[in-house]
Structure 1
């Protein structure tokens, strides 16, 4: 059956390569529906790449899925986490408390951990205000309560090991190469197994959707620029099978990387066009663009996804400024963009 004969969200433990199983875990009330956790067998114990969200439903399904291939939670020696988002990180923290497995995470996530564990959220709200989205700030402010801050601090316990950069990680007789791929988050890493021609891509390369860019607790200076560079980096590696966090296993990382690079060039052109039509802020530009594969209007999105949309628009606008196609200035605390003069007939 390989990666599974039904929908990729179907529960179970599906072999994708010798000694590697894909275990999809549920994401209730989330448009992504599920997250893939990969169980890698070795003589040194079981290694999980990503862990799932710390929900009872996900924990129970992970337990039964691992049980179907002869393992229990006590057999997990390490978690290798692609990035800090709750559906990748938080179940590892819960299981570590009970069974002691070590957690490794890219060192680039340290600023995000500091921001989350700091708890106020004011820096992130200020960033949203700079995008011209004052109404979203007011709607989101209730999320940054003292109780939520304390919960976040407890949930986001620090990893045991920070992955300091590109490095080899030995798992029995298997060698994984940790490769920093900032963009979706500033500390995102992928894990390559060139000998088996496998890339555990996390959210960096997804087969059917594009990851959100530009909205995180400690936002990088040019998140889309970093993401595009990280995509191009994948093109310098041998082509491998794509083992994503969301979606089915597919045959070629390079094919999907090319599609994502093209998508963002088209998105940059569309973003520049709405500025030339009069949108001055990231919020105004996001309102004029369409969203998701279904081409939904901005007003059709919920508050959280509107915030993601505005953050992603800001990320595209900032790349256009760096490329010399727009210029920006700050007016009353809000960043405004205007087109540079040039021939628009081409």
Structure 2
């Protein structure tokens, strides 16, 4: 196994005083694992995120807790960063068995209601792909996802909704629960400033760029939300980064700066490609390299191609909001073009 992938190996790794990183497997996901963080206090065990409700995940969770002298029933609360299945659903199943409380950001309420009604994200993403000019990809995504079902029991509402920025007391430890929409509308990070650690969920990841707006009821401008949330986290003291995917790293600030620079470069590139004749998000995404390996859109599987096109659409929507592009429609697809004024005519703006 490469050093880059070593973080996925089963463990209960101490990462700070009273804090342990427990990677749980994602056997059907390219990310391979999700980090659940166990916070141990004299009075309680609290987890940041819960993992995906799969047999492999539960077995790994049981084993990690036993290695620390605990059982799953000892966990009293899950602070879930956002409503994606690899973070939320196992917390719900543990609650059903043992009564642990589950806490989630209120911005994800629409997603919980959507999945709780047994609806699949496939159809909402299908419509968005068609609007992005990627009908063929939409059909491929629908075909690949055929037969996937949603179990409403895994998407019951949490016990507590987080709204705004609040403090959560865990014995002598205080977490600042900070709303950081972007990856989802209800994403939260949990900052333990006194201990110098940030439980970042999927908001700040050490080696990959978090997807933007992969949810059934997305924000109108998820990239704008995400960039504002990055700036919010950047304004905190620098801390150790405890991400949901990947190894722990020493500086939140360094990675936030890299993510901000990446999205600024991507916004400029999208604008240039529209100026060069690309009209839809699918057109633009075809001209952009993807992943660290610089793959073409056509080289991605339907799921990751879907993420790429919809992230491109998020960049184009933000450029429209910034008045750097105009948006129209053609045959049901959103089309983009430069405004009539030129960059050399600031008075026309």
TM-score range, shorter chain: over 0.9
Alignment of 1:192-231 (within 5 A): 192-231=191-230
In structure 1, what is the Cα distance between the partners aligned to 2:183 and 2:232?
15
Would you say 1:127 and 2:128 are equivalent positions?
A: yes
RMSD: 2.0
Aligned partner of 2:159 in structure 1 is 160
In structure 2, what is the Cα distance between the partners aligned to 1:114 and 1:91?
17
SS at match of 2:304: helix
SS at match of 2:129: helix
Aligned partner of 2:70 in structure 1 is 71
Moved more, 111-120 or 299-308: 111-120
The 1:5/1:230 distance shift into structure 2, 3 A limit, reads: closer
CA-CA distance at 1:290 after TM superposition: 1.1
In structure 1, what is the Cα distance between the partners aligned to 2:277 and 2:198?
42
CA-CA distance at 1:144 after TM superposition: 7.7
Q: Deviations over 1:237-259 (max 9, x none)?
A: 11111100011111111111111
In structure 1, what is the Cα distance between the partners aligned to 2:293 and 2:175?
37
Q: Deviations over 1:116-139 (max 9, x none)?
A: 234265444322221112123323
The 1:169/1:144 distance shift into structure 2, 3 A limit, reads: same
In structure 2, what is the Cα distance between the partners aligned to 1:50 and 1:169?
15
The 1:143/1:292 distance shift into structure 2, 3 A limit, reads: closer
In structure 1, what is the Cα distance between the partners aligned to 2:151 and 2:54?
15
Moved more, 153-162 or 249-258: 153-162
SS at match of 2:7: coil
In the superposition, the TM-score normalised over structure 1's length comes to: 0.93
Alignment of 1:174-323 (within 5 A): 174-323=173-322
Q: Deviations over 1:32-75 (max 9, x none)?
A: 11111100011221001011111111111111111111111111
Could you tell me which runs of 5 or more consecutive residues in structure 2 were left unpaired when the two chains were aligned: 345-349
Give the aligned length. Answer: 339
Moved more, 309-318 or 271-280: 271-280
In structure 1, what is the Cα distance between the partners aligned to 2:333 and 2:151?
29
SS at match of 1:307: helix
In structure 1, what is the Cα distance between the partners aligned to 2:325 and 2:219?
20
CA-CA distance at 1:143 after TM superposition: 7.3
In structure 1, what is the Cα distance between the partners aligned to 2:88 and 2:305?
24
In structure 2, what is the Cα distance between the partners aligned to 1:16 and 1:206?
16
